[in-house]
């Protein structure tokens, strides 16, 4: 049921059964609410159809692997999501190594197929504010081109963010994906939107992940997105990861290939600057 005009405090109270003592807005869609006699929670409003269902399914699927930590879901409906607040700590090298090891174990928990949604999650989900279709496929290069690169490339071209010649450069990368993709890997259990803003460093020395766009994919995609916008102690994260599960030869050479997807998503959402970054990456990939 949609409760029109309801604010985050009232939503938190209704969904948890505890009165809201006070609330503090964090952004346009995010608030912090102290529950009477209970914990402090984060209340998130999502107006896009199916967005809360997709996020809850993703959080639960990732948590089921019992590897990387995630905030507990306290309650939700079609519009509101109530999560435990993560007390913010400082990034540290030991926490980074622990995170890398846990992320490797999360990926190793696997998925039924590339593109498979979390159990109970909708096929039509979101990455940030952009639509994300989770359509299963058996072959990673073909699936990545069809469902992760081309939809956003076509949208950017239709919007005029990329011209026809520029779109052709990215098309050529898709055509060469079978030769560029590296050794075949089984589907990994991905967070799916692993930029550093979704990595919270807790006061207890452990990382929590938030805002997943979870699906079955290639594990190098999560790692490439982690590198795209920077991450504290990144090399220590990667050290921990590789100590738990080695990466295939040539993985550093494929980082740009995996970054094309988030760069094109950003081009659709935020415009020309990200389109130019995607083009620069594509041209490097195609360079002899």
- Please tell me what DSSP assigns to residue 145: I
Residue in 36, 193, 204, 211 annotated catalytic:
193
Integer Cα distance of 58 and 213 in angstroms? 7
Integer Cα distance of 216 and 137 in angstroms? 10
Q: Helix and strand tally (H, E) in the chain? A: 11, 11
CA distances from 263 to 138, 163, 203, 275 (A): 24, 16, 31, 7
- Tell me, yes or no, if 193 is annotated catalytic: yes
Residues pairing with 270 in the sheet: none
Which of 216-230 are b and which e, b meaning 16 or more Cβ less than 10 Å from the residue's Cβ?
bbbbbbbbbbbbbee
Q: Which two tokens stand for residue 36?
A: 């009477």
Is-contact 182 189, C-beta < 8 A?
no
Q: What are phi and psi of 215, to 5 degrees?
A: -170, 170
Integer Cα distance of 44 and 167 in angstroms? 36
Helix axis angle, 164-175 to 150-158, nearest 10°: 170
Q: Which residues are catalytic?
A: 193
């Amino acid at each position: 049921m949609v409760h029109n005009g309801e604010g985050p405090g009232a939503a938190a109270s209704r969904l948890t059964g505890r009165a809201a003592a006070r609330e503090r807005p964090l952004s346009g869609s995010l608030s912090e609410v102290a529950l009477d006699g209970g914990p402090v929670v984060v209340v998130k409003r999502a107006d896009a159809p199916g967005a809360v269902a997709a996020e809850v399914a993703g959080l639960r699927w990732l948590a089921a692997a019992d590897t990387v930590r995630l905030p507990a879901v306290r309650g939700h409906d079609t519009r509101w999501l109530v999560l435990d607040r993560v007390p913010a700590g400082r990034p540290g090298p030991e926490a980074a190594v622990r995170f890398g090891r846990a992320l490797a174990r999360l990926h190793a928990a696997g998925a039924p197929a590339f593109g498979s949604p979390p159990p109970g999650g909708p096929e039509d989900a979101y990455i940030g504010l952009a639509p994300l279709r989770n359509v299963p496929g058996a072959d990673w290069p073909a699936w990545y081109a069809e469902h992760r690169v081309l939809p956003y490339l076509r949208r950017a071209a239709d919007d005029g963010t990329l011209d026809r010649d520029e779109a052709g450069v990215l098309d050529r990368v898709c055509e060469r994906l079978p030769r560029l993709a590296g050794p075949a890997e089984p589907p990994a259990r991905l967070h799916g939107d692993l930029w550093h803003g979704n990595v919270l460093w807790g006061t207890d020395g452990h990382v929590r992940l938030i805002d997943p766009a979870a699906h079955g994919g290639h594990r190098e995609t999560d790692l490439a997105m982690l590198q795209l916008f920077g991450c504290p102690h990144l090399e220590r994260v990667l050290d921990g990861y590789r100590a738990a599960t080695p990466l295939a030869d040539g993985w550093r050479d494929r980082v740009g290939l995996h970054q094309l997807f988030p760069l094109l998503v950003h081009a659709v959402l935020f415009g020309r600057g990200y389109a130019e970054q995607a083009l620069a990456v594509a041209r490097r990939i195609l360079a002899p």
